[in-house]
Chain A
Amino acid sequence: MSKIMEIKDLNFQYGTTTIFHHFHLSLEEGSYISIAGNNRSGKTTLIKLIGGLLPSKDTITINYSYVDSNRIKDHTKDLGIVFGNLSTPFLFEDVYKEMAFPLENLNYSIEEIEHRILEVAHLFKINKLLEKKTSDLTNAEKQILLLAIAILHYPKILLLDHPFSMMDSKTKQFIKKVLKDYQKKNHTTILLTTTNLEDTLDTDYLYILNQGKIVVEGKPLVVLKEDTLLNRLGFSLPFMVDLSYKLEFYELLKETELDMDRMVNTLWK
């Protein structure tokens, strides 16, 4: 596997507030990586830096070429970025136009555009939204649309900044599965940020970011074993992980079980 993105010795500050100091991170191609951190830990800033929306002074490379705001055009095709914060996400009134716009910019033909929009709409089950106005969508629908738009041009890297925050858990489960299947099938590299550790469970590798520094990293379930540290940093364990660890502590369960049906079946055979 090759490194698709690499950050070497990144330093970044807003005014006099230092956000990153000698920061390093790299992404293997085709991996699904999550970064969990609290508000103000630097997550959104990191996504903006990698996306070339903030100057990184030649410390970040994508496919071995530097990302920096003035050279970002080279990377447009490789990147799909979603910001879960919905303050001003859309340019157009019509959902369809909104989806077509980025593809028009990349010189897709009208037929290709239509084909691709229908394909992605089918994937996320949002065909019904195509005829709607962007302003009439619910917040959860807006977030789904943002994800759909981000993958339209088959980007190599998806940068997702708390993309599920407005979805109820049923919707979230479905969208996460769509995303994971898409990622596997297309060998896409995903970097996901979140405040909610539950969102990290189906990713390959988890980094815990605190005040611009990575404090723990590893496979999600291994990192979550550090519950004392995570509690101190202000995280809550996902419900099923918490329940499972507690039941294990009382020797009611032998191993971690994340599926509630199976857990109940193990407890009462």
Chain B
Amino acid sequence: MEIILKNVGYRYKNKKLLDRINFKIESNHIIGITGEYKTLLCELIDALKFPSTGSITVGNLEINSENLCQVRKEVALVTQNPKEQFFTDSLKEEMEFLISRLNYHPKNLSKKISQAFTMVGLEESYFEKPISTLSTGEIKLVQIVLSLIYNPSIIILDEPFVELDYQKQKKLTHFIKVLQEKYHKTILISSNHINLLYELVDDIIILKKGHLLAFGNVLEIYQDIPFLIENELEIPDLVRFTMLARKKKIKLSFHRDVRDLIKDVYKHVS
């Protein structure tokens, strides 16, 4: 499902936090969002906030106050502090609340629930555990489970890697790829973790001072060294290594995997 932002702006206390944002996200891509006010952008696409100017279209729905439920059925947002999103301590009650609010009453609910648990690789017994006993990582996964029950086309993850250890990060990145490849979801990931984004996403949105500084293929953007330096952007470690080698006239290529980089280094050291 596509997402189109046309001339989107957002004002808060007479300050333009976002201004003239235009882009079109194609379906079935993994998109990284980095820079200032990335959470705000996520909230606008999930229809939690309305833009002050411009329009946002999700699939064939232009977001307005009447079609909120329809939009949120298509767009799931996993927030930074999922713990704050829950009203009760029971996952079951949370789910019942969620589906009643979205007016979603599928016939085979229990099957959909167990499918959702299988997708994230959690045991179904988590459904019975009180939310307060879960770790931050588990809560994030559980929130993804909840959103998968109503099968949204777009999943937004706001700072998903914060506070997750490496093992859980690896599990989550694997799962994000499965969501894209097997279930054809469009996935937006907002993060400051430029090294992780560089290795994971297809396209990247870079926000700076309220404007869209860059949007496009992540490899292409991060090969444009003068652009990165001019805008004082953080450079992924893998890119920086190639950049430094090229300064010494070594013809190293850009790599997204450290093993490929080492093979390339091996070829160029004699």
Contact = CB atoms under 8 A, between A and B. Distances in A.
Interface of A: 37-40, 84-87, 138-140, 162, 165-170, 195-196, 234-236, 239-240, 242-243, 246-247, 250, 252, 260-261, 264-265, 267-268
B101 interface: no
Q: Nearest 8 pairs between A and B by C-beta?
A: A234-B167, A38-B165, A195-B165, A236-B166, A168-B192, A264-B244, A239-B237, A268-B248
Given A235-B166, A239-B258, A264 B248 contact: yes
B252 to A, nearest CB: 10
Contacts of A234: 165-167
Contact of A39 (B84, B164, B258, B265): B164
A87 B84 contact: yes
Given A261-B244, A268-B248, 10 more contacts: A38-B167, A39-B137, A139-B159, A169-B195, A235-B166, A239-B195, A243-B261, A252-B265, A264-B245, A267-B265
A209 to B, nearest CB: 11
Say which size band chain B's interface belongs to. Answer: 35 or more
A265 B247 CA distance: 10
Contacts of B250: 268
B163 interface: yes
A170 B35 CA distance: 13
B83 interface: yes
A252 B269 contact: yes
15 contacts: A38-B167, A39-B137, A39-B165, A85-B136, A85-B163, A87-B81, A162-B163, A166-B192, A169-B195, A169-B234, A195-B166, A234-B165, A235-B166, A264-B244, A268-B248
A235 B36 CA distance: 29
A19 to B, nearest CB: 13
A242 B244 contact: no
Contacts of A86: 81
Contacts of A235: 165-166
